[in-house]
Amino acid sequence: MRTKKNPSKNVSIEDVARLAGVSITTVSRVINKIPSVKEKNKAKVLSVIKELKFQPSIFAQRLATGKSNVVALVIPRYEGVFYSFYALELIRGVGTMCEVLKLDLLLHLTDARLPLSLKGASGIIFADIIGNRHQLEEALAQGIPSVVINNYVDDLDVSCIAVDNAGGAEAVVNYLVSLGHRKIAHLTGDFVTQAAAKRFEGYKRALKKNNIEFQERYVFKTDYSRGQARQAAEDLLKMQDPATAVFVASDAMALEVMAVARETGKNIPKDLSIVGFDDNPSGLYGPVALTTVRQPLIKMAEESVKELNAILDPKKKAKVKKVLLPTELVIRESCQKVA
């Protein structure tokens, strides 16, 4: 005769096995609904689970199959990562889809100089490739299922899901030209990222298509920080023959440009039209609602989990996919026609 154990959050699979008089493997097989368990043992295990109000751990559920449903999201570490709209949206999208597909998420902030140590992960989602391409190549060489997001990798046999940054930038310049602007400046992001390089490429391409001469003096290179955006804005506003419009590589920097312009007595958009990139909600709540480019961060994140899940399923025989998601120009109040 056994003593009834009070329900506890600390009840383990070992407790269930001991009280049911069976092995841990048998408990795991019952949890996983594997039919090879004898009905007598199954009944004992289910009775104890009910009595103890046992909540099986993810690892216990997978003990019988030997499979891991853990996927790692690898994000290059940088200052302010957890204040980044981009990073938070990726984590939210990946996390939500992992929950839907019953996958477990391991978040890994990587120092690009070190090798990855992701024991127990069945697959990896690389959120951009910034100085850590060797980590991706190492994972592929080891046969670890991998997907890359926010970076279009055309020279490796790996699935990738990226945003059409160049197309988004072109749309911005075309819009500003339609308003009569010919002197269009650009505050770039950090060229270590593919996104910044592609936005700059799209900016130049659109100028050429609209028969506007590219002028280096209208380009201000930054590292995406608001500090460098402020300095660039001050330099922009002090120029002789200044630009009438500016395309900024992120909303956070665009809001800093707007702040500097207003501090110096400029009217937005009368004196300077501004367009950002990201569709960060903060752009809605400034003194002037920011025109921006909406990039499908959540969709990109969710699709990466679906793709990795398909790769992990041997029945699907998933092929390598390379996807470029379109952007959307969101017109608000920060631009107007040239007077």
Question: How many Å apart are CA 210 and CA 169, to the nearest integer?
Answer: 13
Residue 247 or 36, more confident: 247
Predicted confidence (pLDDT) at residue 163 exceeds the cutoff of 50: yes
Question: How many Å apart are CA 267 and CA 262, to the nearest integer?
Answer: 6
**Scanning the structure block, which residue is given the tokens 């559920």?**
61
3-state helix, strand, coil in the chain (%, to 5): 40, 15, 40
Both 127 and 137 in a single domain? yes
- Binned at pLDDT 50, 70 and 90, residue 3 comes out as very low
Over residues 17-29, mean pLDDT: 86
Tell me: the pLDDT tens digits for 172-204?
999 999 999 999 999 999 999 999 999 999 999
What DSSP letter does each residue of 57-107 carry, written as one string?
Answer: -HHHHHHTTT---EEEEEEE--TTGGG-HHHHHHHHHHHHHHHHTT-EEEE
- Binned at pLDDT 50, 70 and 90, residue 2 comes out as very low
Both 82 and 113 in a single domain? yes
Tell me: the pLDDT tens digits for 60-90?
454 445 556 889 999 988 766 667 888 899 9
CATH number for 270: 3.40.50.2300
Whether residue 197 lies inside any domain: the answer is yes
Both 254 and 281 in a single domain? yes
Contacting residues for 182 by C-beta, under 8 A, at least 6 apart = 212, 244
Whether residue 6 lies inside any domain: the answer is no
CATH number for 47: 1.10.260.40
Both 103 and 138 in a single domain? yes
Lowest mean pLDDT among 106-110, 123-127, 207-211, 267-271: 106-110
Distance from chain centroid for Cα 165: 14
Encoding tokens for residue 6?
Answer: 């009070």
Distance from chain centroid for Cα 263: 33
Supply the mean pLDDT for the chain. Answer: 89
**Structural domain range at position 41:** 13-63
Whether residue 127 lies inside any domain: the answer is yes
Whether residue 273 lies inside any domain: the answer is yes
Cβ contacts of 118-122, under 8 Å, gap ≥ 24: 118/72, 118/74, 120/68, 120/70, 121/68, 121/70, 121/71, 121/72, 122/67, 122/68, 122/69, 122/70, 122/71, 122/312
pLDDT value at position 165?
A: 98
Tally of helices (H runs) and strands (E runs) in the chain: 11, 12
- Binned at pLDDT 50, 70 and 90, residue 5 comes out as very low
For the chain, what is the domain count? 3
Predicted confidence (pLDDT) at residue 32 exceeds the cutoff of 90: no
Encoding tokens for residue 147?
Answer: 């997907």
